[in-house]
Amino acid sequence: MKYIVTGGAGFIGSTLAKRMIRDGHEVVIIDNFSTGLRERVPEGATVVEWDLTSEDIQTLASHMQGADGVFHFAALPRVPFSIAEPIISSKHNVFGTLHTLVAARDAGVRRVVYSASSSAYGNQPVLPQHPDMKPQPLSPYALQKLMGEHFCSQFYALYGLETVSLRYFNVYGPGMAEDGAYAPVFAIFKRQYLAKEPLTICGDGSQTRSFCHVDDVVEANVKAMMSEKAGKGEVLNVSGPTSVSIKDIADRFNHPITYLDPRPGDVPHSLGDIERTKELIDWEPKIHFDHGFEALLKHWGVR
């Protein structure tokens, strides 16, 4: 089968692309390499250098001809950037998704699996977070990702394009972003640890997050693409089984800590209910955080 992977030069997309090639599929990566890295592109993948903000849908659709499915990862997944630059981030995260859906529809693709985000939940009083809860996006990024979900379910209802939205909860693993002001918290800790600087925590570190290993996220994508029970615009959580506090993660580095002001738009707690995900695509995480995180620290040379 032929599959399109938008954002396939990014962290999760390149891991998925590698997996699909290993499984014997033809993979076409569509990426503008804004944050994606060429060295991440797996051997055997065809690369189309393309910016999904382009309104040339015909050309985009021509790249998707003959594909069974599209895994849509491309985005600028950074909360602070979306607050600083709401227009630019909306162009990538909203129009990038809309253009992908229109092109997939026009090319006759069977299904699109969309990378949604748990940030759509915002600050919920009740945990675990369930897809039926009223979303409370706290940042332009969260709102943009939520709009993508709504476009996905509309495209099924209006045009019959099968879609599944997967709401990821903090994805980690080898290949995750390590540089720049918007690198995820682990990677910032790693950089500070190796530079022998104190680890910086925004707020008091009591914020909790559910972390999901990238290999589990890839498996959820494959199952969402193949499942006969899903495809009608569903929104499914892809969450780890428990949550961990930021302070707990910092403590695992066994290193001095400095506390900074809380960040605007930061969600205090996150943990997803995965019952619907289990039911519709038969997925649950396999990699326990303690093991996945230790392996990452070894991979980084921290242990």
Ligand X SMILES: NC(=O)c1ccc[n+]([C@@H]2O[C@H](COP(=O)([O-])OP(=O)(O)OC[C@H]3O[C@@H](n4cnc5c(N)ncnc54)[C@H](O)[C@@H]3O)[C@@H](O)[C@H]2O)c1
Residues with catalytic roles: 141
Return the residue of 51, 178, 284, 294 that touches ligand X, per CB under 6 A: 51
Smaller CB separation from ligand X, 49 or 290: 49
Q: 100 vs 192, which CB is nearer to ligand X?
A: 100
Which pair of tokens denotes residue 118?
Answer: 């748990």
Q: Please, what is the minimum distance in Å from the beta carbon of residue 252 to ligand X? A: 18
Q: Rule CB under 6 A: is residue 73 a binding residue for ligand X?
A: yes
Beta bridge partners of 31: 49
Kindly state the smallest distance separating residue 218's Cβ from ligand X, in Å: 11
Min CB(71)–ligand X separation in Å: 10
Please tell me what DSSP assigns to residue 119. Answer: G
**Residues 62 and 56 sit within 8 Å (Cβ to Cβ):** no
Please give the residues from 196 up to 255 whose contact with ligand X meets the rule CB under 6 A.
Answer: none
| 135 upstream amide cis, omega within 30 of 0 | no
Considering only 139, 170, 270, 277, the residue that binds ligand X (CB under 6 A) is 170
Here the contacts of 182-186 (C-beta below 8 Å, separation 24 or greater) are: 182/78, 182/79, 182/80, 182/81, 185/246, 185/249, 186/249, 186/293, 186/296
Positions 80 through 99 that interact with ligand X (CB under 6 A): 92, 96
45 binds ligand X (CB under 6 A): no
Residue with tokens 């227009």: 87
The strand order across the sheet containing 111-117 reads 46-49, 26-31, 2-6, 69-72, 111-117, 162-168, 232-238
Residue 285 contacts ligand X per CB under 6 A: no
Q: Dmax over Cα atoms in the chain, in whole Å?
A: 55
List the interface residues with ligand X, window 110-169 (CB under 6 A): 115, 117, 145, 168
Question: Which range binds ligand X by CB under 6 A, 32-40, 152-160, 190-198, 226-234?
Answer: 32-40
Give the binding site for ligand X (CB under 6 A): 7, 9-13, 31-36, 51-53, 73-77, 92, 96, 115, 117, 145, 168, 170-171, 177
